[in-house]
């Protein structure tokens, strides 16, 4: 399993002007977060909604921000996404680790993993699945959305079991 | 003291400095006491005022950033105290209007009378003051100018049966006003 592209994703986004990376750790995003920690650019919050709040404050200060989380935390954040991020039009980039993508993932991830694509769709949240092959174009797409003051999300599938 | 009275005293000291105000009656009262472009009125997302203020404080270290929070609001996001206490923004003043109730939803009780927010905040590396009177509030507001944040003022207030008018600005306008005002030195 080659997950190194996550380190490239971090470095590209940092180089292209994303200044803040805030979230709750997720094993699917381990390499991304690891690279961010190496650069001392990560803020770990206690919950995902809190991360969105901090990122919102930074974005209001014209400092571009990304929020990372597992899809379980994304589900926790639905109300914050609708009544803060979307209502005030805060241009955040979400990076979401998708547990339950594999149907035989651990039981706690199955249901939420199954409805993950529908949750994003129903929220009207522009989203792309980011992989080893397309990571660069996905990052450029997200950066473009961000520069147009639009919120968007990048989803990393959990393609292995441990 | 009722919340509006406390806010009137606070506003005299705060002037044009940024305030992030929690949803419900807190934002409504601020809007009615002193509407200004440096107010970020939250309309929804209960609990997150202090998190937004943390983000603003970390990016505007030369400005003092105020949070107008409620006991019900902070009890919904106690983790915020942990993150703020860890990052230690020196320019954050966290004001809690404590009436031990969810006044905006009909006055149902919170547990701030049973568990001391003061003790939790002290454990999270805040400098904390509890205030019960208008004179006390005026005195503490002078004193905290010398304190390094994060500072918390827990202002005990009485509940009031009069409801303030709703905020008439559109959310996008609130955001634009606030962002533009932060850009001004």
pLDDT, residue B163, reads: 81
Q: Report whether pLDDT(B49) > 80.
A: yes
The average pLDDT across B94-113 equals 91
Computed over every residue of chain B, the mean pLDDT equals 95
Q: Give the count of Cβ contacts less than 8 A between chain A and B.
A: 104
- Sorted by where each starts, the structural domains of chain A and their CATH numbers stand as 5-157 (3.40.50.970)
Q: Report whether pLDDT(B29) > 60.
A: yes
**What is the enclosing helix (H) or strand (E) of B9?**
helix B3-14
Task: Return the bridge partners of B137, or none.
Answer: none
| pLDDT per residue as tens digits for the range B157-181 | 998 777 889 999 999 999 999 999 9
| pLDDT per residue as tens digits for the range B109-163 | 999 989 999 999 999 999 999 999 999 999 999 999 999 989 999 999 998 777 8
Question: CA A94, CA B102: separation in Å to the nearest integer?
Answer: 32
Residues of chain A with confidence (pLDDT) below 70: 1-3
**What is the enclosing helix (H) or strand (E) of A114?**
helix A107-122
The average pLDDT across B9-33 equals 96
* Chain B closest-CA separation from residue A64 CA (Å): 11
DSSP string, A14-82: HHTT--EEEE---GGGHHHHHHHHHTT-EEE-SSHHHHHHHHHHHHHTT--EEEEEEHHHHHHTHHHII
pLDDT band at residue B185 using 50, 70 and 90 as cut-offs: low
CATH second-level architecture of B3-183?
3-Layer(aba) Sandwich (3.40)
| Partner residue opposite A84 with nearest CB, options B48, B179, B182 | B48
pLDDT, residue B106, reads: 86
Torsion angle (degrees, nearest 10) of CA B62, B54, A20, A152: -130
Report in angstroms the alpha-carbon separations of B170 from A87, B104, B149.
10, 20, 32
pLDDT, residue A4, reads: 82
| Partner residue opposite B51 with nearest CB, options A50, A59, A79 | A50
* Chain B closest-CA separation from residue A84 CA (Å): 6
pLDDT, residue A1, reads: 46
Token pair recorded at residue B133:
């009177």
Q: Find, in chain A, the residue whose alpha carbon is nearest to that of B182.
A: A61
ipTM: 0.96
pLDDT, residue B154, reads: 98
B75 at interface of A, judged by CB pairs closer than 8 A:
no
Task: Return the bridge partners of B2, or none.
Answer: B158
Q: Find, in chain A, the residue whose alpha carbon is nearest to that of B169.
A: A88
Q: Find, in chain A, the residue whose alpha carbon is nearest to that of B46.
A: A80
B79 at interface of A, judged by CB pairs closer than 8 A:
yes
């Amino acid at each position: 399993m080659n997950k190194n592209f996550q380190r490239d994703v971090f470095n590209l986004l940092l180089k292209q002007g994303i200044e803040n990376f805030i979230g709750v750790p997720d094993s699917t995003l381990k390499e991304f977060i690891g690279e961010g920690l190496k650069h001392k650019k990560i803020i770990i919050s206690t919950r995902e909604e809190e991360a969105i709040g901090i990122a919102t404050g930074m974005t209001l200060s014209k400092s571009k921000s990304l929020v990372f989380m597992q899809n379980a935390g994304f589900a926790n954040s639905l109300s914050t996404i609708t009544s803060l991020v979307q209502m005030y039009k805060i241009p955040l980039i979400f990076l979401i680790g998708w547990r339950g993508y594999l149907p035989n993932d651990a039981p706690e991830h199955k249901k939420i993993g199954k409805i993950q694509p529908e949750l994003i769709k129903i929220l009207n949240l522009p989203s792309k699945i980011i992989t080893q092959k397309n990571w660069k174009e996905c990052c450029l797409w997200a950066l473009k959305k961000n520069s147009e003051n639009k919120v968007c999300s990048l989803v990393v599938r959990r393609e292995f079991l441990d | 003291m009722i919340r509006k009275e406390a806010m009137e005293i606070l506003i005299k000291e705060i002037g044009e400095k940024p305030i992030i105000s929690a949803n419900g009656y807190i934002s409504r009262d601020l809007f009615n006491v002193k509407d200004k472009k440096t107010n970020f009125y939250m309309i929804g997302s209960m609990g997150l005022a202090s998190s937004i203020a943390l983000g603003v404080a970390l990016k505007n270290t030369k400005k003092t950033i105020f949070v107008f929070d409620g006991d019900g609001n902070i009890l919904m996001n106690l983790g915020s105290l942990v993150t703020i206490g860890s990052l230690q923004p020196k320019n954050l003043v966290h004001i809690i209007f404590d009436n031990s109730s969810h006044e905006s939803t009909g006055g149902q009780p919170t547990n701030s009378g049973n568990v001391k927010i003061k003790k939790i905040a002290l454990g999270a590396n805040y400098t904390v003051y509890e205030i019960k009177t208008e004179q006390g509030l005026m005195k503490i507001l002078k004193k905290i100018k010398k304190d390094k944040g994060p500072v918390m003022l827990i202002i005990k207030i009485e509940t009031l049966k009069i409801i303030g008018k709703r905020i008439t600005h559109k959310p996008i306008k609130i955001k634009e006003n606030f962002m533009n005002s932060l850009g001004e030195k």
